[in-house]
């Protein structure tokens, strides 16, 4: 408890500092709205702001908006024409933008409405479970396993809580951040949940500055402030984020005459639903367990909590008993824990198991089809992708369930308990969308219009837009960089570059 009190005090002081210090003066991007005279085959812009269109995106012979046209003297005729497809990916800079918390459906909606039309269609990306930023982006860059799923987690090696917040306050970064060129500073990240619009606009400009100063062909940048936009404003916040990053892309295309490739993705989805806080700590204490910061007896529980999310990791000697208590709550969606050499998946109706054999995975209902996977199993049988014992490859599970309510669940669940992090919780819990757990202090500063963390489609499904044209189907997060940059191997930047 003293550790938690110190941490809460730190957060409080951080928020007060941020609120009283305000935002540093930042030049914001101001690429114009499209001209009302634009058509489906030509989108015009008045870049210099004098009331006359002087730049356009035009459709090529295949109706792709790949032509950049410049009317330098504003006489209605284009003096310069460039085709972005004339530039090979390996010959021009490639900017990879990592957003936080943008669901796939929001991107698809914007694309179908006419946004990002110089990109090929967006592809669905399934984030790893739990659908949390550090878990996802650690997998993206193939960094070594993190100590825990959260920055504040229980470490079984020392029987104590561990937190990286103090180090981040002093300038250190999370594991995966050392592999990229820009990431949101810790203080700015906190402010991004309180003043998300201001911070997001500033971060877009920071991305441009990072690219302009980069000596590398591949530049990877991360904006945490998009998470604040979606948490505070829900679907509208996601749309505003996409509008902002679209303007950044247009600015870069215009400045560089199309001699750039851009890829955009996010870490996980978001449920786009107003959410209420549920105190699992109080509920578990009332059930006879003792929630604290270390484990000394069979009644002790330690909870990995962070932010306000639908996922909770619990460390306990009695995962089944804790699951029994939590499944009495209507707000609990799933509980997951190891039993021998299989993972038990439970909801209020019953239980099922995930098993692995010879590199393949099997989903077996014990007394209930928890994931509603019987149609999936039938389809795998019909296509001869499952053996007589019910085992199928991870690729087969992914391909057939990418649009299911619980996408890629057998591999996702198995991986969560086998090496995703060093200090794996004994019990993983997801709450139904509409409820969240975490730090109560945050409730004082934000009303959650959306959150994430779970295993279901809207929490896990995010997106990839890539001008490389190399992404042609759904992907898992760990596959993205290899697809859009086959010869690029993420490496740890020097401390000087990462600071």
Tens digit of each residue's pLDDT (9 = 90 or more) over 35-49: 998 999 999 999 999
Is the pLDDT reported for residue 27 higher than 80? no
pLDDT of residue 493: 79
Residue position matching structure tokens 């401390």? 495
Band (pLDDT 50/70/90 cuts) for residue 28 is: low
Show Cβ contacts of residue 363 under 8 Å, excluding neighbours closer than 6 positions.
352, 353, 354, 371, 373, 376, 377, 390, 409, 410
Specify whether the CB–CB gap between 88 and 438 falls below 8 A: no
How would residue 151 be classed by pLDDT, with cut points 50, 70 and 90? confident
pTM: 0.93
Predicted confidence at residue 169, as pLDDT, reads 67
**pLDDT attached to residue 187:** 85
Q: Residue range 252-277: average pLDDT?
A: 97
- Answer yes or no: is pLDDT of 4 > 80: no
| Least confident among 100-104, 143-147, 190-194 | 190-194
**Exposed (0-12), middle (13-18) or buried (19+): which is 494, by Cβ within 10 Å?**
exposed
Q: What is the pLDDT of residue 167?
A: 65
pLDDT of residue 495: 56
pLDDT of residue 1: 40
Query: Which range has the worst mean pLDDT, 54-58, 93-97, 189-193, 450-454?
Result: 189-193
For the cut 80, the answer to whether the pLDDT of residue 25 exceeds it is no
pLDDT band at 236 (very low <50, low <70, confident <90, very high): very high
What residues does 346 pair with on adjacent strands? Answer: 335, 351
pLDDT of amino acid 439: 80
Q: Which two tokens stand for residue 376?
A: 């999936």
Domains and CATH numbers, the chain: 34-85 (no CATH), 86-145+163-272+462-498 (3.40.720.10), 276-444 (no CATH)
pLDDT digits (tens, 9 = 90+) for 87-125: 999 999 999 999 999 999 999 999 999 999 999 999 999
Mean of pLDDT values over 62-70: 94
What residues are paired with 153 via a beta bridge?
162
* Contacts of 217-220 spanning 24+ positions with Cβ under 8 A: 217/90, 217/92, 217/93, 217/94, 218/93, 218/94, 218/96, 218/485, 218/488, 219/93, 219/94, 219/95, 219/96, 219/181, 220/96, 220/98, 220/179, 220/180, 220/181, 220/182, 220/490
Length of the chain: 499
The predicted pLDDT at position 405 comes to 98
pLDDT confidence of residue 16? 44
CA 189, CA 224: separation in Å to the nearest integer?
Answer: 6
- Please, are residues 399 and 124 in contact by the beta-carbon 8 Å criterion? no
* DSSP H or E run through 235: helix 225-255
Residues 295 and 305: their CA atoms lie apart, in Å, by 16
- For residue 344, which phi and psi values (nearest 5 degrees)? -95, 130
Q: State residue 2's pLDDT score.
A: 41
Report DSSP letters for 282-293, one per residue.
HHHHHTT-EE-S
The pLDDT of residue 3 is: 39
- Identify the residue with better confidence: 13 or 209: 209
Confidence of residue 153 (pLDDT cuts 50, 70, 90): confident
List the single range of 237-241, 342-346, 364-368, 486-490 with lowest mean pLDDT. Answer: 486-490
Closest Cα to residue 421, out of 227, 136, 100? 136
Q: What is the pLDDT of residues 412-439, one digit of tens each?
A: 999 999 999 999 999 999 999 999 998 8
E runs forming strands in 3-93: 42-45, 55-58, 67-70, 80-83
Two structure tokens written together for 470:
């190399």
Taking CB atoms within 8 Å and a gap of at least 24, the contacts of 197-200 are: 197/229, 197/240, 198/23, 199/23, 199/225, 199/228, 200/225, 200/226, 200/228, 200/229, 200/240, 200/241, 200/244
Cα 471 from Cα 465, distance rounded (Å) = 8
**Residue 263, helix vs strand vs coil:** strand
- Percent of the chain, pLDDT > 90? 82
Residue 367 C-alpha from the chain's centroid? 33
Assess whether pLDDT exceeds 90 at residue 231.
yes
CA–CA gap between residue 310 and residue 288 (Å, rounded): 23
* 281-285-287 Cα angle (round to 5): 120
CB 165 within 8 A of CB 151: yes
Mean pLDDT of the chain: 91
Whether the pLDDT of residue 272 is over 90: the answer is yes
- Of 415, 420, 338, the closest CA to residue 147 belongs to 420
Separation CA 453–CA 465 (nearest Å): 23
């Amino acid at each position: 408890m003293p550790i938690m009190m110190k941490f809460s005090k730190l957060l409080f002081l951080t928020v007060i500092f941020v609120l009283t210090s305000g935002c540093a003066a930042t030049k914001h991007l101001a690429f114009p709205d499209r001209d009302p005279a634009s058509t489906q085959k030509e989108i015009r812009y008045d870049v210099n702001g004098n009331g006359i269109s002087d730049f356009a995106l035009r459709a090529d012979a295949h109706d792709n908006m790949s032509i950049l046209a410049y009317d330098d003297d504003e006489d209605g005729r284009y003096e310069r024409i460039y085709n972005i497809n004339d530039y090979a990916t390996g010959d021009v800079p490639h900017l990879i933008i990592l957003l936080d918390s943008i669901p796939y459906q929001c991107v698809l909606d914007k694309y179908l409405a006419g946004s990002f039309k110089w990109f090929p269609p967006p592809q669905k990306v399934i984030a790893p479970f739990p659908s949390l930023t550090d878990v996802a982006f650690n997998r993206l860059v193939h960094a070594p396993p993190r100590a825990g799923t959260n920055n504040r987690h229980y470490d079984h090696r020392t029987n104590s809580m561990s937190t990286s917040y103090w180090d981040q306050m002093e300038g250190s970064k999370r594991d995966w951040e050392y592999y990229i060129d820009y990431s949101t500073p810790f203080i700015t990240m906190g402010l991004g949940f309180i003043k998300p619009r201001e911070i997001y606009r500033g971060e877009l400009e920071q991305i441009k500055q990072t690219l302009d100063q980069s000596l590398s062909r591949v530049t990877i940048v991360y904006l945490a402030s998009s998470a604040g936009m979606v948490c505070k404003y829900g679907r509208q916040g996601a749309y505003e984020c996409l509008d902002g990053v679209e303007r950044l892309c247009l600015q870069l295309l215009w400045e560089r005459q199309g001699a750039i490739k851009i890829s955009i993705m996010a870490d996980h989805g978001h449920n786009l639903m107003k959410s209420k806080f549920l105190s699992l700590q109080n509920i578990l204490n009332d059930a006879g367990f003792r929630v604290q910061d270390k484990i000394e007896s069979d009644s002790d529980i330690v909870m990995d909590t962070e932010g306000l999310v639908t996922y909770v990791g619990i460390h306990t000697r009695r995962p089944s008993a804790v699951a029994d208590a939590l499944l009495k709550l209507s707000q609990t969606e799933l509980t997951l824990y190891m039993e021998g050499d299989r993972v038990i998946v439970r909801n209020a109706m019953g239980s099922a198991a995930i098993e692995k054999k010879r590199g393949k995975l099997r989903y077996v209902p014990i007394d209930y089809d928890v994931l509603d996977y019987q149609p999936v199993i039938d389809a795998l049988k019909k296509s001869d992708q499952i053996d007589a014992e019910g085992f199928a490859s991870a690729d087969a599970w992914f391909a057939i369930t990418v649009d299911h309510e619980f996408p890629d669940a057998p591999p996702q669940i198995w991986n969560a308990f086998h090496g995703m992090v060093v200090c794996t919780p004994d019990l993983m819990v997801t709450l139904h969308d509409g409820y969240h757990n975490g730090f109560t202090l945050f409730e004082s500063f934000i009303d959650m219009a959306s959150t994430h963390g779970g295993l279901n489609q809207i929490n896990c499904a995010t997106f990839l837009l890539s001008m490389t044209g190399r992404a042609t189907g759904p992907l898992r997060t760990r596959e993205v960089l290899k697809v859009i940059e086959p010869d690029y191997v993420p490496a740890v930047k020097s401390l000087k570059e990462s600071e």
